């Protein structure tokens, strides 16, 4: 696993340039989590109105994730080829148009088609915002803004389901899709707010070739991203069932557990710049693995609702540390002209993990129990921690 020099060798930044671009990019960073979370509260209502079974309804929620995983390499290539501004703006506009199609769609097939197009736009948004942040900011300030991105994304995970549910309650499930319209003004703003410097900074380094993206250190980072996504959706998909086994089925109370995870992620993300100045990136990844292991150990062994809440909060800590640290490590080890494609692999791993998580863990948990599946994930985290302690030889 790649690391960086000791923290004291990284000079702190003294300013915060490109404030308008930063505000835009942080807002746009919340759109990835909005992609699914906004419509989660209305899934059952949509299923009934559209006359489909649970599996077909589930595709409305997950189809975009598979598209993001498949399209991200194209998004990364286009960003490396033509710069960030136009691909990002185009992705935001497509996100807004295709995402909001559900406002006027009354049948299943057109809705799924719009979600597939929506996934294309989301792929450009997720990759483009990350590459822009990494290109505009260096050193300690880069760590700080990536932590802010984690905070913004986590906060969106709490806010958007609430707003989406409120819109559906006040109007109909169609109104929930109106949230995606925000992509349109953000897309137009990107044409103005993203500075030329974002592409000039990336062009100053030589392209080492695509083979450099397959170095063992980077492959290790991508595997961590994949595992993190699987663990995240292990909680999102199976925790409500686990709580149901303990006689907690009230939706608003179940949502508190996910909100706790998002809240701790937000807090840790806000402090990531401070953590990055005091700990090496390898140490932060080890802390992530410890948090993952303890979280799933708690979720697998305990039947106390307050203790399970603590396990959810612990998982939020691990996810926030890993999400920010893996992004930084890719930037540390990839040359500017390849950064778009490198972050595209990041996106593919993230959304592939989300898509396959229930497919991998579902059969295991059905054959044993949800608690056993969580204990297996705790063992996986322990194995990751062991690997992160293997001595490395740095050049």
Asked, for residue 282, whether it belongs to a domain, the answer is: yes
Over residues 9-39, the pLDDT tens digits come to: 344 444 677 888 999 999 999 988 888 778 8
Asked, for residue 395, whether it belongs to a domain, the answer is: no
Alpha carbon of residue 148 to chain centroid: 13
Asked, for residue 6, whether it belongs to a domain, the answer is: no
Q: pTM for the full model?
A: 0.82
Asked, for residue 393, whether it belongs to a domain, the answer is: no
Cα angle 358, 159, 266 (rounded to 5 degrees) comes to 80
**Residues 30/153, Cβ–Cβ less than 8 Å:** yes
| Cα distance between the two ends of the chain | 13
Over residues 124-150, the pLDDT tens digits come to: 999 999 999 988 888 788 999 999 999
Over residues 345-374, the pLDDT tens digits come to: 999 999 899 888 888 888 899 899 999 999
What are phi and psi for residue 249, nearest 5 degrees?
-125, -5
Instruction: Tell me the pLDDT of the chain averaged across its residues.
Output: 86
Give 93's Cβ-side CA count (13 Å radius). Answer: 11
Asked, for residue 326, whether it belongs to a domain, the answer is: yes
Query: Encoding tokens for residue 387?
Result: 């690997």
Asked, for residue 372, whether it belongs to a domain, the answer is: yes
pLDDT at 40: 75
Provide the domain count of the chain: 1
Asked, for residue 78, whether it belongs to a domain, the answer is: yes
Cα angle 218, 221, 223 (rounded to 5 degrees) comes to 110
Spatial neighbors of 121 by CB under 8 A, at least 6 apart, are 90, 91, 92, 93, 94, 95, 96, 97, 98, 99, 183
Q: HEC states along the chain?
A: CCCCCCHHHCCCCCCCCCHHHHHHHHHHHCHHHHHHHCCHHHHHHHHHHHCCCHHHHHHHHHHHHHHHHHHHHHHHHHHHHHCCHHHHHHHHHHHHHHHHHHHCCCCHHHHHHHHHHHHHHHHHHHHHHHHHHHHHCCHHHHHHHHHHHHHHHHHHHHHHHHHHHHHHHHCCHHHHHHHHHHHHHHHHHHHHHCCCHHHHHHCCCCCCCHHHHHCHHHHHHHHHHHHHHHHHHHHHHHHHHHHHHCCCCCHHHHHHHHHHHHHHHHHHHHCHHHHHHHCCHHHHHHHHHHHHHHHHHHHHHCCCHHHHHHHHHHHHHHHHHHHHHHHHHHHHHCCHHHHHHHHHHHHHHHHHHHHHHHHHHHHHHHHCCHHHHHHHHHHHHHHHHHHHCCCCCCC
Asked, for residue 5, whether it belongs to a domain, the answer is: no
Q: Which of 23-37, 100-114, 372-386 has the lowest mean pLDDT?
A: 23-37
Query: Encoding tokens for residue 391?
Result: 């001595």
The CATH number linked to 349 is 1.20.1250.20
Q: Provide the residue range defining the domain that includes 246.
A: 18-388
Over residues 80-98, the pLDDT tens digits come to: 888 899 999 999 999 999 9
Over residues 152-206, the pLDDT tens digits come to: 888 887 788 778 888 888 888 899 999 999 999 999 999 999 887 666 555 544 4
């Amino acid at each position: 696993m790649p690391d960086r020099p000791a923290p004291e060798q990284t000079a702190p930044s003294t300013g915060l340039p490109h404030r308008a671009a930063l505000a835009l990019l942080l807002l746009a960073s919340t759109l990835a989590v909005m992609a699914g979370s906004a419509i989660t509260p209305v899934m059952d209502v949509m299923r009934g109105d559209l006359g489909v079974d649970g599996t077909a309804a589930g595709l409305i929620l997950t189809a975009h994730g598979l598209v993001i995983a498949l399209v991200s390499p194209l998004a990364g290539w286009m960003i490396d080829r033509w710069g960030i501004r136009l691909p990002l703006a185009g992705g935001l506009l497509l996100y807004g148009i295709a995402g909001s199609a559900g406002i006027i769609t009354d049948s299943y097939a057109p809705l799924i088609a719009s979600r597939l197009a929506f996934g294309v736009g989301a792929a450009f948004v997720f990759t483009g915002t990350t590459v822009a942040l990494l290109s505009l900011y260096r050193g300690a300030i880069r760590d700080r803004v990536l932590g802010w991105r984690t905070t913004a994304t986590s906060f969106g995970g709490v806010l958007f389901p609430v707003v989406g549910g409120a819109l559906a309650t006040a109007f109909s499930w169609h109104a929930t899709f109106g949230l995606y319209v925000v992509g349109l003004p953000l897309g137009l703003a990107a044409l103005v707010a993203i500075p030329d410097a974002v592409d000039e900074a990336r062009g100053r380094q030589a392209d080492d070739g695509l083979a450099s993206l397959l170095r063992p250190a980077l492959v290790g980072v991508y595997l961590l991203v994949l595992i993190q996504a699987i663990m995240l959706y292990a909680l999102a998909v199976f925790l409500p069932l686990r709580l149901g086994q303990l006689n907690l089925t009230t939706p608003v109370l179940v949502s508190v557990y996910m909100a706790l995870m998002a809240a701790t992620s937000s807090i840790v993300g806000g402090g990531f710049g401070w953590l990055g100045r005091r700990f090496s990136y390898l140490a932060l990844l080890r802390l992530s693995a410890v948090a993952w292991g303890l979280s799933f150990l708690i979720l697998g062994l305990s039947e106390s609702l307050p203790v399970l809440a603590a396990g959810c909060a612990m998982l939020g800590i691990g996810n926030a540390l890993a999400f920010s640290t893996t992004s930084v490590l890719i930037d540390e080890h990839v040359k500017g002209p390849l950064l778009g494609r490198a972050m595209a692999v990041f996106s593919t791993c993230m959304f592939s993990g989300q898509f396959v998580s229930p497919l991998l863990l579902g059969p295991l948990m059905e054959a044993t129990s949800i608690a056993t599946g969580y204990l297996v994930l705790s063992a996986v985290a322990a194995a990751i921690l062991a690997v992160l302690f293997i001595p490395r030889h740095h050049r």
